[in-house]
Every structure is written in C-alpha cells, then in structure tokens.
Homo-oligomer: A and B are copies of this chain.
Amino acid sequence: MGDETGRVVELLWGAPSRPTRGPRPSLSLAAIADATVRIADADGLGAVSMQRVADAFGVTKMALYRYVSSKAQLIAVAIEAAVGEPPVLSGTGWRARIEQWAGLLRENWLRHPWLPQATVGDRVMGPREVAWIECPVAVLAEAGLTGREQMDAVLLLCAHARNTLTASVSGTQPWTPGAGSGSLREQLARRAADYPAVLAATRSGRSEDNGWRFGLELILNGLEARIGRAGDRRQAGA
C-alpha cells in the first residue's frame, strides 16, 4: 500500500511536473481524466477500461501509463475531475446550509451516476473532494458539534446520498412490481405468510426519490436535537 498510495497522493496533490527533455506529451492528465469521466457518464464505471480511454485519443492503451501508473489512479483522477469545484453555500443558519450542500452533492452525483459507487471504501481523496467535505464540516463546527461529530454527520449524509442513488431502478427489488412471471414480488406474494410487513409496506411502491428527503430530514432533525443540547451545554458551562 505504501508505495501505491504515495504515488496516488503525489498525482492528486503534487504540483504538475514540467520536465524539459524529450518529445512533448501529446496528452494531458486533465484530458485523460475528462475522457474517462465522459465514458463513465455514458456507459457506467464498468465500461471504463484502459483500452477504451486510449481509443478516445487514438493511442495505444500503454501510452496512458505515461500519465497514470494503474487503473486505480485513472479512476482517482476521474473522480477528482467529476466532483468539480465545491459549492459556496448561501443559506442562513446551519440547517439551511447543510440542506443546500446535500442537495448540491446529490445533484452532482445525479450528473455522474457512477460517482456514488466509485467513492466507496479506501481511497485517496483529492483536493476538490476534500474541499467538498470541508464546507459542511465548517458549518457544523460553527453550529457547535465536536470534531468527531462533524465528520460522522457529514459522512452519514454522504452515505445516505450514496444509498438513495445506488438503490434499485429496475424491477429486481421487493418494492418494484416486476415483470410478471419470475419477479421477486411474485415470490414474496407466494410466501405472503412469511413476509406480511414487507408486502404491506411495499404495496404502493417505493418513494420516487428512494427515501432521500425522508432520510435527510430525519438526519437533520437528529442533528438539530444534538446541536440544541450542545448549545445548552455551552451556555451552562459559560
């Protein structure tokens, strides 16, 4: 890990090196990242391969290894390109700002549907990605949460956004009507005695936004309760 991680960090965070000798590079890291984003946007993360990115420039796939040293690095720079610049929050009060931030995050992830699944697990985050985290953390810090609470809350919001976006669209889940014969819903109905609650709860399908607003308000209400208490504590202590 040490070596590979170090190189990714350097690539994402280091200054762009400008060596002099030798032929001019015909590509650039930024262009490669953009091409990767376009492919992922169009055909999903699974469609991204070295070959296909190279084809977009009319070069061999091995030429890409002059710019990135592995596919993981390719994805890393593509993520950093896709997240874009962090927003400037304009609302008044922490709740309005967090809500605005969450909405913008979701919008951006809707534009790049592969981003939610690409940003799970252990990764090296890039400057813009951390900047996206920076702004809600600052808001919650001002609101009086502890450092850990700030991070936990922001990551919870990210988790919720991710989950409501990666959730099912096609008819493979209990809450989708399914295509008749072999659908999951039909199987549930045939064992109605075993799954009464799920059947009842999913009778009217799932909410249009996959529970995004529901969960968001739940989390914000929870934060409000905690921030209220934190404020009380601060008042009592002062």
Residues of A within 8 A of B (CB): 1-2, 5-7, 9-10, 13, 117, 120-125, 127, 130-131, 133-135, 137-138, 141, 147-153, 155-156, 158-160, 162-164, 166-175, 179, 181-184, 187-188, 191, 194-198, 200-204, 206-207, 210-211, 214-215, 217-219, 221-223, 225-226
Expressed in whole angstroms, the Cα–Cα distance for A160 and B196 within the complex equals: 25
Residue of B nearest to A1 (CB): B170
Expressed in whole angstroms, the Cα–Cα distance for A134 and B195 within the complex equals: 6
A196 surroundings in chain B (CB, below 8 A): 134, 138
B10 contacts A182, C-beta separation under 8 Å: yes
A203 contacts B147, C-beta separation under 8 Å: yes
| Chain A at the B interface: SS class | helix
- Which 9 A/B pairs are nearest by Cβ-Cβ distance? A152-B211, A6-B182, A159-B163, A218-B222, A138-B197, A147-B201, A13-B187, A137-B197, A152-B214
Expressed in whole angstroms, the Cα–Cα distance for A164 and B155 within the complex equals: 9
Expressed in whole angstroms, the Cα–Cα distance for A202 and B151 within the complex equals: 7
Identical copies of this chain, number? 2
B222 contacts A174, C-beta separation under 8 Å: no
A149 surroundings in chain B (CB, below 8 A): 214
B191 contacts A127, C-beta separation under 8 Å: yes
CB distance from A69 to the nearest CB of B (A): 14
Residue of B nearest to A168 (CB): B122
A225 surroundings in chain B (CB, below 8 A): 221, 225
